[in-house]
Amino acid sequence: MTIGLKTPSSYYIELINTFPPRPISNEAALIATQNRINYILDKGNITQDDRDYLKVLGTLVYDYEEKYEPMPTLKDGELLQALLEESNLQPKDLVHICESEFTVLDILNGKRQLTDNQIKALTAFFQISPSYFSALLH
């Protein structure tokens, strides 16, 4: 017997039998898998078996999206705009990093490049990798 493996519960077997996890190879299978994930999440009271099963389905969705639906590359201004929107912030909220709201607006409109210091401060502020900013590639 392999150490670390436990016999799956009857509920976990039921989850697998109801919707057997398979590699996703087309949009219809992706939608079906996402619908199954949503069904389990919507029922509430998520058990450890649900979490384990969701992790498997989530991995399949992630693998498909990485292969067939790569994330678009955003320019610095577009990325900064998306980060502001996601964080429910306004350009004025970045004045402490970019010195003025006009500078922030120029960056957002593509009229100005981010400096290395601004990139360092923004990545710390938004807690993201500096590699997301294309200015580092120049």
- Is 72 or 81 the better-scoring residue by pLDDT? 81
Domain boundaries, the chain: 10-68, 76-137
Query: Regarding the domain delimited by 76-137, which CATH topology (the fold level of the hierarchy) does it fall under?
Result: 434 Repressor (Amino-terminal Domain) (1.10.260)
Q: pLDDT value at position 1?
A: 46
Q: Nearest-CA neighbor of 118 among 72, 83, 66?
A: 83
pTM of the model: 0.54
**Overall average pLDDT of the 49-56 stretch:** 96
Calpha distance 111→131 (Å, rounded): 21
49 three-state secondary structure? helix
At 4 the pLDDT is 63
pLDDT band at 111 (very low <50, low <70, confident <90, very high): very high
